[in-house]
Amino acid sequence: MTPPTDSRVRQLGILAVLVLLTETAPLEVSLVYPAARSLAQSFGSAGADAVTGTVSLAAVVCIPLLGRIADVVGKKRVLLYSGTLFAAGSLLCAVATSLPLLLFGRLLQGAVGGALAVAYAMVRDAFPRHRVPVALGIVSSGIGISGIIAPFLGGALVDRYGYHGVFWFLFLLSALVLPLGAVALPDDRRPDDTANSEHRRLDVLGALLLGLAAAALVGGVGAAVRSGWASPGAVGALSSALLLALGFWRRERNRAHPAVDLGLLTAPAVRGTLLSAVLTTAGTSAAAYLLAQLLQTPRQTGLGYAFGLSALAAAGWTFTLGLGSLAGGPLGGYMARRRGPRSTALTAQALVAIGALGFAALPGQRGAVLFISLVFGLGTGLAYASFANLITEAVPDERAATGAALIAVANQLGAAAGASALASVRTRYPVGPTGSVFAGSGYRLAFTCAAAAALLALLTTWRMRHGRSPATGGAATSRTDAPATEPAGSGSTTKEMI
C-alpha cells in the first residue's frame, strides 16, 4: 500500500489527475448521449442504443478483473494501461464508418470503466484517513464536470462534425491525460518477490466469469424488455448469465486466493450497498439518457412535448444536471464524514426520485427543466459519493480495489440495465412510420419507472445497518491501522460491518 502523503499540494495534484483520468469513464457515456440522434440516422434506433449500451457491458466485464489486478500489481499501472486501451478504442470509433467497427471500438473504450474504482482505492492508500471521505467525493464529482461540459461540448461537436467529432475529442483527451498520470500519480508497485507470487495466484478466469455473468444479465434484461421474457434472446442471455454465475461460484468457493472473496461478496454491508447502487444508477442513467432525446424530438402535431432543439440547444436546458452533480460530490463526502454515508445515500435517492417524477410531468418551460435537472443532478452527485464511502467502510485495505470494483460493477449494471430497459419501455409507444419518435406516454412511463427504481433503492438503504456512523476513510476495516472505535450509540461494530 502507498504510504499516505502529508503534502497538501501533492494531494491536490493527485486529486486533479485522478479526476481527469476518471473523467473519461462518464464522458464515454454522457458525451455520446447528444450524438444519439446522429447515430440513429446512420445506424437506426437499435444501432444507436447498441453503441450507447455496449461500452457499459464491456466495462462490466473488465471491472472485476481490473480491480483484482490493481490490488496485485499496482493501481497506477492499471489506470495507465486501461487508459491506453480507451485511447485506442476512441481512435477506432472516430474513424469508423460501419456499425461493427464502431461497436468494437466501444468495447475497447469499456476498459476504462474500472478507472473510477481503482481511483477510489488509490485515494484510500494515498490520503490520511480523515481526508479520505471528502477526497472520494471530489473524485466522484468528476461525473458532475462531465455532466456540465458534455451536453454543450457534445452538442457542438455533433452539430458540426456528427458523431465522429465526439470520439476524436475523447481520443485527444486521453492522449493529453495519460502522460500527466504517468508523472503525477504515486508509484504503488509491489516488490518483485511479492508481485511474482501474487501473479501466480491471480485468478483471471474467475474475474472474467463474474464480469461475463454480469454482462449477460444486463443483455438479458434489455432483451426481455424489448421482446418479452420468453423471447429467444432473453432466454439465451439470462440462461448464460445463470450458468456463468454458477461457474464463478463453483470455481471460487474453495480457492485459497479467489478473484473475489465470496464471503466479501455476500457480507450484509457489501450486499446491501451493491443492491442500492444498482437500483439508484438504473434510475439516474436512464433519466439522463432519455432527457436528451426528449428535448431533441422534432416538433410534430399531437406530441405536445416536442421541442425540436438541436443537440447544443438542448444542453442549455440541462446543464444544471452537471452543476448539481458537481456540487453533490464533495458535499456528499462531507456529509458522509459528519453524519454517515447511509443518511447521505437516503438523501440522494429521495432527490433522484423527486427529479425523475418531475421529468415524468414533461415540463414545457426551460426554467422548470433547469430546476428539476438541478435537483436530479444533486441527488446523482450525493449518490456516487455515498456509495464510494459505503464500500470503503465495508472492505479491508488489501481488498480496496476489489471492493471498489464491485461498486463500479453495480453502477455499470444499473446504468446499462436502466438505460436499456427504460429506453425499451419508451419504444413501445412509437409515433409515425420512422420508429424514432415516441409518444409522451412512453416517456412518462419510463421516467416514472426511473423514480420507482430510486424509491426501491431508498427502501433498501433504509434497511441497512451499515454506514450509520460517520465515515472513517476505511480505518474501521483496516488491518494495518490502529483499531477504530465506533462512536457511542452507533450500534455497529467492525465485525457487523464486514
Number of separate domains in the chain: 2
- 194: in domain: no
* Confidence band for 45, pLDDT divided at 50, 70 and 90: confident
Q: Angle at CA 240, nearest 5°, toward 237 and 243?
A: 155
pLDDT value, residue 244: 92
Section 267-292 average pLDDT = 86
Residue 63 CB partners (closer than 8 Å, separation 6+): 113, 114, 117, 211, 405, 408, 409, 412
Q: Are residues 267 and 250 in the same domain?
A: no
- 129: in domain: yes
- 3: in domain: no
Place of cell 483496516: 478
Section 152-160 average pLDDT = 83
pLDDT value, residue 252: 82
Domain of residue 363, residue span: 8-186+259-497
- 468: in domain: yes
pLDDT value, residue 496: 35
- 29: in domain: yes
* Confidence band for 456, pLDDT divided at 50, 70 and 90: very high
Buried b / exposed e along 313-341 (16+ C-beta atoms within 10 A): ebbbbbbbbbbbbbbbbbbbbbbbbebbb
pLDDT value, residue 6: 58
pTM: 0.76
One-letter amino acid for residue 398 of the chain: E
Q: Are residues 171 and 253 in the same domain?
A: no
pLDDT value, residue 310: 78
Section 322-349 average pLDDT = 92
Residue 165 C-alpha cell reads as 467529432
Q: In whole angstroms, what is the distance from residue 392 CA to residue 132 CA? A: 9
Q: Are residues 324 and 368 in the same domain?
A: yes
pLDDT tens readout for residues 185-231: 888 765 554 445 554 467 778 878 887 887 788 778 767 766 777 88
Section 137-152 average pLDDT = 72
pLDDT value, residue 304: 61
Q: Are residues 106 and 246 in the same domain?
A: no
CA dihedral of residues 101, 118, 406, 92 (deg, nearest 10): 0
Percent of the chain with pLDDT over 90: 22
Count of positions (residues) in the chain: 498
- 302: in domain: yes
Instruction: Please return the burial class of 250, using the count of CB atoms within 10 Å of its CB with bins 0-12, 13-18 and 19+.
Output: exposed
Question: Looking at 258, 282, 305, which one is the last position of a domain?
Answer: 258
Q: Are residues 171 and 218 in the same domain?
A: no
Q: In whole angstroms, what is the distance from residue 42 CA to residue 163 CA? A: 9
Section 63-71 average pLDDT = 79
Q: Are residues 429 and 439 in the same domain?
A: yes
Q: Are residues 305 and 241 in the same domain?
A: no
One-letter amino acid for residue 452 of the chain: A
Q: Are residues 277 and 133 in the same domain?
A: yes
Helical spans, DSSP H, in 231-340: 232-252, 262-266, 268-296, 311-318, 320-339
The most confident of the ranges 24-33, 230-239, 282-291, 478-487 is: 230-239
- 195: in domain: no
Residue 430 has φ and ψ, to the nearest 5°, of: -75, 155
Section 52-65 average pLDDT = 78
Q: Are residues 384 and 311 in the same domain?
A: yes
Q: Are residues 169 and 50 in the same domain?
A: yes
